[in-house]
Structure 1
Amino acid sequence: MTDPQQADFAPGRRVPLRAIIGSLRRGAGDPTWIEGPDGIWRGSITPHGPVSLGLRVERAVSGDRVVATAHGPGAPWALERLPRLLGADDTIDDFVAHHDVVAEALAAQRDWRLGRTDLVIDALVPAIIEQRVTGRQAFSAYRTLVRRYGAIAPGPAGQRGLRTPPSAAQWLRVPSWEWLRAGVDAQRADTVMRALRVAARLEECVDLPAQEASRRLRTVPGIGVWTAAEVAQRAFGDPDAVSFGDYHVAKNIGYALTGQPVDDAGLAQLLEPYAGHRYRVQYLVHAAGLSRPRRGPRLSLPTHLPARF
């Protein structure tokens, strides 16, 4: 076992760690994520190999300090990008709240920043699995596949159950029947396979302008606006990558800002004043719990959901 490597991040403000990286967790049972007294640990596959990255926050009057500990071949790569992961590249200097509820949500989340992993496949495979199904179904499928085809994460966290997801090459070796056994239909599995065959080209998206990165992702059949946005939010830290096509997003934002749910066309119009920060509004609405009232049983069947890809 190699010695752990460490780095820290102290931006001079509070760092709401769970809020910043929480979207990387795919459900409560995600094997690539564990939490404990020593903080949050996440397993991932970097361009240099697997890594276990542990993050804990030390509070101080002058601002928080995040201490990162990493194990595995990917440790130097992950630690070098620690500030980006925690939102150092994100700025809210030009963000203007055009609605009172957005201003209030921003005040409550004033220290939140949008981070980026710089890992496309890491975000893309679970996003494809989440197309057209409920979160519970998608998280169960991803959990099953990672436990079966992922690997024990490097370092002590691996002995506590942390796993890394399969690499692109390992995902490609998952048989078609195993996708079906996990609850992933052939259409989504085929989309994953098409994306993995051009994984190197897709990973290059981290160095492209946002619109070009989204366009390249969507050249893969089966990857549409919703999936590209889900990747952009996590891998690129794109504050404008709103999740058009989601079953809840347009309705909830419309209700929060106008008192009435809207469709995607209405959402696009409603968010025009926030161009460049449309996903930031989506996050703030969600973080503030500003969802529309529910008037019926929770959806449980994928046939009730639109094709969001």
Structure 2
Amino acid sequence: MHTDTERCVRAVRSRDARFDGWFYTAVLTTRIYCRPSCPVVPPKPENMVFHPSAAACQQAGFRACKRCRPDTSPGSPEWNARADTVARAMRLIRDGVVDREGVPGLAARLGYSARQIERQLLAELGAGPLALARAQRAQTARVLIETTALPFADVAFAAGFSSVRTFNDTVREVFALTPGELRTRAGRPGPGAPGPGAIELRLPYRSPLTPGNLFGHLAATGVPGVEEWRDGAYRRHLALPHGPGTVALTPREGHIGCRLRLTDPRDLTLAVSRCRWLLDLDADPLAVDEQLAADPVLAPLVAAAPGRRVPRTVDPAEFAVRAVLGQQVSTAAARTHAARLVAAHGTPVEDPDGGGLTHLFPTPGQLASLDPESLALPRTRRTTVTTLVAALADGAVRLGPDVHWDEARAALAALPGFGPWTVETIAMRALGDPDAFLAGDLGVRKAARHLGLPATPAALTARTAAWRPWRAYAVQHLWATDSHPVNHLPA
């Protein structure tokens, strides 16, 4: 979009927050870059240039605006709506892969050479993987500076910088402030001894957002011991590279409150990325709603609850196992099966806030030795579970952000016991395909009959072609025609 100068100028002049994260405005006279909704008086059009990423702005010699803080914009919705190489690369960079594995590791995951990845990212985003990762490190550093009392040396290494000097130089270059000045402006106390304190964040999103089905689904399907709804927040344990973490996510006006407790602050970037993915916070609700509302059948549903999101997962492998456990049973039964699996094979983890979280969900490796006779499931379902676990453990099935959605679908469909419902459920919530559609789902078919839509899977699939590529969001609206607890915030 950044190449459409006229459209970008209109967005800046109207301070349209819908375009935050889509592009960035760099001002030639001040050498500052802003988000489109920046509250300052817009510059003259001839003094504006537009870039597709904060990293491109920084690489061109611009610093972040202190008023609108463009580095805190929601991410571009493109990276969650596409499955091409650039989109998958951006999802991996967002997860901190470049910091952990370098550019060669990023390229290996995508099956390309480092030079090819560099060329594709430069062409579309105006910056290579190192510059994009550097911009993300700067934002992580800012979060730790402003929300914790960690010494700056600890902040530097937690954010992924190789040295304190590089950290200091980057912060000054990107924000035109020293780390100390950033902390003072935020009103934080001086550095203290690092400890297991909570990190409080605001996770921005593009309005509107209807939280009912989003948090209702997570709460109603939550696995006891791993997840819970408590004091108005969805809480769960997170399995992270440097140790377990705990997150509490609270729906608020204009943002999601996020309270993290981490074993190691180096996991902050990945934890935030997973939380944003879980809640689908980088979606473009206006684009989704506009297309779905063009159908007279969906228009009243969209008008009644604009901005519905697709509840996802923090761990694709975990969700795949849970999807199989939930085949042809009620929500309550699926939770019971998953809770038994967690109690028997999960890693015990203490809840730092004294809640009901007790375990991490078991990994495929931990479930590899699972005795199928211990599962209170039909024999065919036991085979499905053990086959899936083995395929996940040995890499025959991959469900990470680096995987093309169609390739993952094909790998899952080849497993015994995997029909269209299971494959599309995983595609929608674990892989994040915005066009995943559960034509054979009981709730979808019930809603279709109620709304006068075709009820058979084939006919319904054909009827919904006009909803593409947002059919996963249409599913949320169809489900919401029922009074099931997944569609409402818990009391």
TM-score higher than 0.5: yes
- Give how far 1:284 is off: 0.4
2:451 is aligned with 1:256: yes
Local SS of the residue matching 2:442: coil
Q: Which residue of 2 aligns with 1:294?
A: none
Match of 1:306 in 2: none
Alignment partners' CA distance in 1, 2:251 and 2:390: 39
Look up the SS of the partner of 2:293 in the other structure: coil
2:385 to 189, 192, 196: 192
Contact 2:209-2:308 at 8 Å conserved across structures: yes
Given the alignment, which residue of 319, 323, 331 partners 1:135?
Answer: 331
- Residue 298 of structure 1: aligned partner: none
C-alpha distance in 1 between matches for 2:384 and 2:241: 22
Contact 2:277–2:313 (CA under 8 A) maintained in structure 1: yes
Q: 2:259 aligns to what?
A: 68
The change in CA–CA distance for 1:176 and 1:7 in structure 2 (over 3 A counts) is: same
User: Could you tell me whether the CA contact under 8 Å between 1:205 and 1:213 is conserved in 2?
Assistant: no
Q: Which amino acid aligns with 1:35?
A: W
Partner residue, 1:223: 418
Report if the CA contact (8 A) 2:206-2:284 is conserved.
no
**Structure 1 residue matching 2:259: 3-state secondary structure:** strand
* Alignment partner of 1:122 out of 306, 314, 318: 318
Q: Residue 22 and residue 123 in structure 1: after superposition, are their counterparts in 2 closer, same or farther (change >3 A)? A: farther
Instruction: Name which of 372, 380, 396 aligns with 1:176.
Output: 372
3-state SS of 1:78 partner: helix
Q: Distance in 2 between matches of 1:142 and 1:26?
A: 13
In structure 2, what is the equivalent of residue 268 of structure 1?
Answer: 461
Does residue 79 in structure 1 map to residue 275 in structure 2? no
Deviation at 1:127, TM superposition (A): 0.7
Match of 1:19 in 2: 213
Which position in structure 1 is the counterpart of 2:203?
Answer: 9
Q: Say if 1:41 and 1:53, in contact at 8 Å, map to a contact too.
A: yes
Equivalent residue number for residue 239 of structure 2: 45
3-state DSSP class of the match of 1:202? coil
CA contact (8 A) 2:443 2:479 kept: no
Q: Which moved more, 1:216-225 or 1:8-17?
A: 8-17
Partner deviation per Cα, 1:136-168 (whole Å, 9 max, x = no partner): 433322222222322334542465344321111
| Shift in CA distance, 253/65, structure 1 to aligned 2, threshold 3 Å | same
The yes-or-no answer on 1:156 pairing with 2:349 is no
Aligned-partner Cα distance in 1 for 2:197–2:397: 32
Distance 2:340 2:203 in 1: 34
Q: Specify every segment of 5 or more residues in structure 2 that has no aligned partner in the other structure, as ranges.
A: 1-194, 485-491
Closer, same or farther in 2 for the Cα pair 1:205/1:35, shift >3 Å? closer
In structure 2, relative to structure 1, the CA distance for the partners of 1:102 and 1:38 (3 Å cut) is closer
Q: Which of these residues, 281, 293, 305, is aligned with residue 474 of structure 2?
A: 281
Amino acid at match of 2:442: Y
Aligned to 1:214: 409
- Determine which structure has the larger helix proportion and give its number: 2
Q: Deviations over 1:8-39 (max 9, x none)?
A: 31225354445324434564763322122262
Q: Which 10-residue stretch deviates more, 266-275 or 39-48? A: 39-48
Residue type of the partner of 2:207? Answer: R
1:145 alignment partner, SS class = helix
Tell me, in whole angstroms, the C-alpha distance in 1 between the residues paired with 2:478 and 2:472. 10
Q: Is the 8 A contact 2:206 2:282 kept in 1?
A: no
- Asked if the contact 1:51–1:71 (Cα under 8 Å) also holds between the matched residues in 2, the reply is yes
Cα distance change of structure 1 residues 135 and 12 upon mapping to structure 2, 3 Å threshold: closer
What SS does structure 2 have at the residue aligned with 1:81? Answer: helix
Deviation for aligned residue 1:123 = 0.8
Aligned-residue sequence identity (percent) comes to 22
Query: Which residue identity lines up with residue 129 of structure 1 in the other structure?
Result: L
Does structure 1 conserve the Cα–Cα contact (< 8 Å) formed by 2:413 and 2:423?
A: yes
CA RMSD of aligned residues (A): 3.0
Give me the whole-angstrom Cα distance separating, in 1, the residues matched to 2:229 and 2:405.
32
Select the structure with the greater relative contact order (CA < 8 A; seq sep ≥ 6).
Answer: 1
Matched AA of 1:123: F
Q: Is the 8 A contact 2:292 2:302 kept in 1?
A: no
1:209-233 per-residue CA deviation (whole Å, 9 max, x = no partner) reads 3322212222222222211111122
CA apart distance, 1:46 = 4.7
1:222 counterpart letter in structure 2: G
Q: Is the 8 A contact 1:251 1:263 kept in 2?
A: no
Bigger Rg, structure 1 or 2 = 2
Unaligned runs of 5+ in 1: 292-309
**SS in structure 2 opposite 1:228?**
helix
- Assess, with a 3 A threshold, how the Cα gap between structure 1 residues 71 and 153 changes in structure 2: closer, same or farther: farther
- SS of 1:90's partner is coil
Residues 102-152 of structure 1: CA distance to partner in whole angstroms, max 9, x if unpaired? 112112221322254362211111111122333343332222222232233
Q: Provide the TM-score with structure 2 as the length reference.
A: 0.51
Matched, 1:105 2:296: no
- The equivalent residue for 1:35 is 229
SS at structure 2 position matched to 1:198: helix
CA deviations 1:273-308 (Å, max 9, x no partner) are: 2121222212102123399xxxxxxxxxxxxxxxxx
Secondary structure, counterpart of 1:56 in structure 2: strand
CA contact (8 A) 2:434 2:471 kept: yes
Q: Which amino acid aligns with 1:166?
A: P
CA 50–22 in structure 1, closer or farther in 2 if over 3 Å, else same:
farther
C-alpha distance in 1 between matches for 2:257 and 2:316: 24
Equivalent pairs counted in the alignment come to 283
Call closer, same or farther: CA 1:17–1:45 in 2, change over 3 Å: farther
